[in-house]
Structure formats: structure tokens, C-alpha cells
Amino acid sequence: MSQLLLPQASAFGKVVVLYGGTSAEREVSLNSGKAVYDGLLAYGIDAHLLDTGKEDVISALRDGDYARAFIVLHGRGGEDGEIQSILHYLKIPFTGSDMASCAIAMDKLVTKSVWRDAGLPVLPDMQVYADDSYESIAQELRSACFVVKPALEGSSVGVSRVSNQQEFAAAFIAAGGAGEKIMAEPWIDGRELTYTVLGEDVLPSIEIIASGSHVFYDYEAKYLADDTRYLCPAPIEAALDGALREDALAAFLAVGGSGWGRVDYLLDEQGYASLLEVNMVPGMTSHSLVPLAAKEAGLDFTTLVVAILAQTM
């Protein structure tokens, strides 16, 4: 970490913490938002919570006389450029990436095409439709087993592993069905790694190991299970770590990211890494990955949230 010189609490003025929202990740955001709010209060900052799923956001922001906003909304409405465009219009500085890069990052197919064009390592993928057949997808992806997931959700909502026609039909419905943008990519049996970008730094790696009862890092493994293990730093070779770290920052910058975010990888059995997705407003609960990586880098939770907020100054 480069040296952090944080402003005094009073310099931040009145701060609104935007949390909750209406996406499928509302519950996670309520927890993340409360944790961020507590962290800002602990530093002495004049912080206020605003649940964007309950209140009339535009009037609340306009009437609140806020100096800056900390966005802790996950998923649609909060991580996709919508709240960023409202804040931009109201001239309230906010944490994290701007509306355009959030809109790109929200869509995994668009994100991966940007990365592919930038020469960064990604798995093949395709958009899938209700009348597609298992065979045609498996053939195009050159993989008998593939993942079907919504292109625009998070928190492992609607993610399935597919290896026959019946599973494809069920997975398509689970991913939201017709009207939803749904994607497929080869299923990778391997390891999951994640890197946090904070300013111009990349924090220590984390490996996520879901317990044997989970086919993958599903919603339950992410938020409910107490047997999911997080290894920080990840036990990988220094040369691989160096390459992944460099690509994580390049991937973040390629979609126009700024401030903070988290870049996820899948590592296959041959040790070949593919970029999976980028999260522009990663989880900030006590169980979350970004606070864990920060801690390994020597930043406690309060310092982390104040450092993110300081990027708005």
C-alpha cells in the first residue's frame, strides 16, 4: 500500500450512505451499508443512512444537503450506473466508478467483450435463449458442461451448472427466463480467486473455498454458510500472483473503473486463469472479501471506508 494520509472527519462534511435498494441483493446491501455507516461514524464523520428502496431518493438527496455520497448498493439500480447518474446530475460527489463504467461492469457479456478486445484472458461465452438446445450451446462453447447465469445479476443469483437438455431448461428459468439477458460459458472446475483494487493499489489476493456441500460459490456459501473458507493471501506462486494482480488492475481500468472494486478469477486445473467479472460495489459486510484483503494489507475496516470516501475529495 502506498502511504495513506486521510483527511480529518470534519473535512468530509455531511455524508449520505446509500444502501438497501430494490435489487435481488437488497439484503446484502443492508448489511454492507450498515457496516460502512458504522465505520464512518467510528471515524467521527457526520454520516446518514438512506435506504433507496424505501425513500424517494431524488428528493431525499436534493433536500439532504449532503457533501458527498458513499454508494453501498449492489446490483441493479446501484451498481449499474443508475444511482451514479442521479448523483452526477445533482452534483453530489460519490464513491467508486462513474455511470458509464458501472453500466459496462454490470453486464458480464459486455465486460468480457471489452476484456477480450484488450487481450485479457476470458472464457468463451454466448448469450442464450429459451429455444436454444443444450447440444448447440455445448458445441459452440466446446464444452459438455457449462454455466448458465443472468448477465446482469450478482451474488450468485440464478447461477446453474448444465450438462444436459433438461438441466438447460431448468437453468434458463432459474436465471430469470425469457426477458432476462442470460449467458453461458464453459464450466470450470477449479479455484476461485479475487483481487481488490483500491485507488491505484491492488490488495492481497484471496482464494475462496466453498465447502464440499456446495457445487460452486453459491448464494448460501457466500452469505450464510460458516464453512466457506477464505485464504488471504491465496496460496499461489508469486509469479502467478504478480501476473493476476497486473491483469486485475488492467481489467478494472479497461472498463473505466476508478476508486475501488473487486476483480474475480477462475483458475482451471491446468493453472490457467480467466477473468470472471468485476464488481463495482463489492460486499462490505463483516464477512466480505474486500475488508479481508484490506486487513491483510494493514488497513482496518474504518481506515478502509474512510480511504474510499476520501477518493471523493
Residues within the interface to ligand ADP (CB under 6 A): 123, 147, 149, 153-157, 159, 185-188, 192, 216-217, 264, 266, 276-277
Catalytic site includes residue 76: no
Q: Is 264 a catalytic residue?
A: yes
Minimum CB distance to ligand ADP smaller for 155 or for 288 = 155
In this complex, which beta carbon is closest to ligand ADP, that of residue 45 or of residue 123?
Answer: 123
Active-site residue (options: 19, 25, 82, 207): 25
Helix (H, G, I), strand (E, B) or coil at 301: helix
Task: Reply yes or no on whether 101 is catalytic.
Answer: no
Shortest Å distance, C-beta 279 to ligand ADP = 7
DSSP letter for 257, please: -
Instruction: Please pick, among 153, 185, 241, 277, the residue that the annotation labels catalytic.
Output: 277
What b-and-e string marks burial along 266-291, b requiring 16 or more CB atoms within 10 Å of the CB?
bbeeeeebbbbbbbbbbbbbebbbbb
| Closest CB to ligand ADP among residues 155, 196 | 155
Place of cell 428459468: 173
Question: Which residue of the set 262, 265, 274, 288 is catalytic?
Answer: 262
Residue 311 and residue 221: Cα distance in Å, rounded? 32
State the minimum distance, in angstroms, from the CB of residue 159 to ligand ADP. 4
Q: Is 164 a catalytic residue?
A: no
State how beta strands 206-209 and 191-198 pair.
antiparallel
Note if 277 is an active site residue: yes
Residue/partner pairs of 36-42 with CB below 8 Å, 24 or more apart? 36/70, 36/72, 36/284, 36/305, 39/301, 39/302, 39/304, 39/305, 39/306, 40/15, 40/70, 40/302, 40/305, 40/306, 40/309, 42/302
Closer residue to ligand ADP in complex, CB, 86/278: 278
Taking the least distance from each CB to ligand ADP, the nearer of 45 and 292 is: 292
- 27 assigned to active site: no
- Please, what is the Cα angle at 200 between 195 and 204, to 5 degrees? 30
What's the min distance (Å) between Cβ of 163 and ligand ADP?
Answer: 12
C-alpha cell at 213: 456441500
Helix (H) or strand (E) holding 264: strand 260-267
241 is catalytic: no
> Which phi and psi angles does 256 have, rounded to 5°?
85, 15
User: Under DSSP, is residue 108 helix (H, G, I), strand (E, B) or coil?
Assistant: helix
Provide, rounded to whole angstroms, the least separation between the CB of residue 49 and ligand ADP: 25
- DSSP code of residue 11: G
Tell me whether residue 47 or residue 152 sits nearer to ligand ADP (CB atom). 152
Q: Of the listed 154, 264, 265, 288, which one is catalytic?
A: 264
**Looking at 97, 101, 155, 274, which residue is catalytic?**
155
CB of 186 to ligand ADP, least distance (A): 6
Shortest CB 274 distance to ligand ADP, Å: 8
The alpha carbon torsion through 182, 185, 186, 189 (nearest 10 deg) reads -80
Q: Catalytic: 262?
A: yes
Report CA-CA distances (Å) from 262 to 114, 184, 201, 244, 297: 17, 22, 12, 13, 15
Provide the annotated active-site residues. 25, 155, 223, 262, 264, 277, 279, 283
